[in-house]
Amino acid sequence: MKILPIKSVPFIIFLVGALSASATNLIKLTVTYFGKTDTIRVEKVEPVIFAPGVIPVNTNNNADATFSPDGRTVYLYQSLNHVSSIAESKLVNGKWTAPATTSFSGTYPDLEPAFSPNGKYLIFASSRPATPSGANIDGHFDGKVFPGSGGELWKVKLTKKGWGQPEMLPADINSNTSVFSPNVAADGTLYFMRSDSGKEFHLLRSEMKNGVYQTPTPFAFSIPGRGDYDPAIAPDQSFMIFSSGRAPAPVHTADLFIVFRTANGWTDPLDLRMLSPNVHGIEARLSPDHKTLYFSNTRNAVGVDVPGDRYIWRVDISGILKAHGMG
């Protein structure tokens, strides 16, 4: 596993200045690295909606766009008539096909698919029972009980004949029924969120060693009483994007944050709203080349917020990566 050197990925201690846009459309961010003040210049970019008129054709509730390694197939969560499932769309002659429910989904509430970087399997969250005769599992988070809407992580392999049968991940991962938002690194290490307190969610990381998931560990940047969720990890684990309502996110809003991995650990989270006021939301996913961020919020294609809907947006993050010595 490659860990970028400290000089290539600075450790952001705290922000000491505000964001400003120059006449050349560059955002200047004043930060302090190891006690030394510096300025990062990042080009201001606007997100665009993903596959307008195609992906939202069945429903206006879409999220979790995860791509095959060649970028020509996308799997996503769709909620139609209060039923959530995982759908598939293919890029044909430069256009995405209408999403169709996958062979392994559609019977139980499934969501948040994450493709492994090698394209051999998907991991997803589901409230499906452990046995076909059981009842959908309940969730315990946000201080409430959610009947039939819990979450455990499942794995389904892609074979020459298509998708196999989903298998539940081990108990170290599924230690309760409030486990969601998986994401997979190139070496199989699993990132996900779990509510161990029955209240807020926190992010966890489980290394893969000799084909076995290790005991999950939390992140030092977690804030007690404040939730973090929906991790999207770069294949080499050099950076991660996640959602949180932590400052400076506006009240009752989830912002998208990026953290970088250094020899000293993970940097402090940096709010991606710096790129545009419209870069915020949940369910982060990365393109196969990890230079484009996909996320969801309630803003539709004409810029109107529609409560209850979720639209998939994409934004170029290559500028912020280059500012930190990547790409």
Instruction: State pLDDT tens for residues 78-115.
Output: 998 778 999 999 999 999 999 999 999 999 999 999 99
- Mean of pLDDT values over 291-318: 94
Residue positions counted in the chain: 327
Cβ–Cβ under 8 Å, residues 176 and 194: yes
Q: Give the pLDDT score at 268.
A: 85
* CA gap 17, 30 in Å, rounded: 5
From 253, 247, 306, 319, select the one nearest 282 (Cα to Cα): 253
Residue 296 has pLDDT above 90, yes or no: yes
Q: Report the b/e string of 26-65 with b at 16+ CB within 10 A.
A: ebebebbbeeeeeebebbebebebbbeeebbebbbbbbbb
pLDDT, residue 103, reads: 96
| Whole-number pLDDT of residue 184 | 98
Nearest Cα to 240, choosing from 203, 196, 198?
203
Whether the pLDDT of residue 306 is over 50: the answer is: yes
Q: pTM for the full model?
A: 0.90
User: How many helices (H) does the chain have, and how many strands (E)?
Assistant: 1, 30
Confidence band of 32 (pLDDT split at 50, 70, 90)? low
Residue 240 identity = M
Mean pLDDT for the stretch of residues 124-141: 95
The pLDDT, as a whole number, for residue 295 is 98
Mean pLDDT of 191-196: 97
Q: For residue 276, is pLDDT > 80? A: yes
pLDDT number for residue 143? 95
Residues 6+ apart with CB under 8 A from 204: 191, 192, 193, 194, 216, 217, 218, 219
DSSP 164: -
Confidence tier at 12 by pLDDT (50, 70, 90): very low
Q: Strands 83-92 and 100-101: what pairing?
A: antiparallel
SS3 of residue 187 by DSSP: coil
Average pLDDT of every residue of the chain: 89
Residue 306: alpha-carbon gap to chain centroid: 21
Cα angle, residue 301 at apex, residues 52 and 70 outer, rounded to 5°: 40
Q: What is the pLDDT of residue 36?
A: 57
Position 31 confidence tier, pLDDT thresholds 50, 70, 90: low
Say if residue 10's pLDDT is above 80.
Answer: no
Which 3 state secondary structure label does DSSP give 148? coil
Amino acid identity, residue 292? T
Distance CA 161, CA 172 (A): 31
Query: pLDDT by residue (tens digit) across 35-76?
Result: 556 677 888 899 999 998 888 777 889 999 999 999 999 999
- Token couple for 163: 């998708």
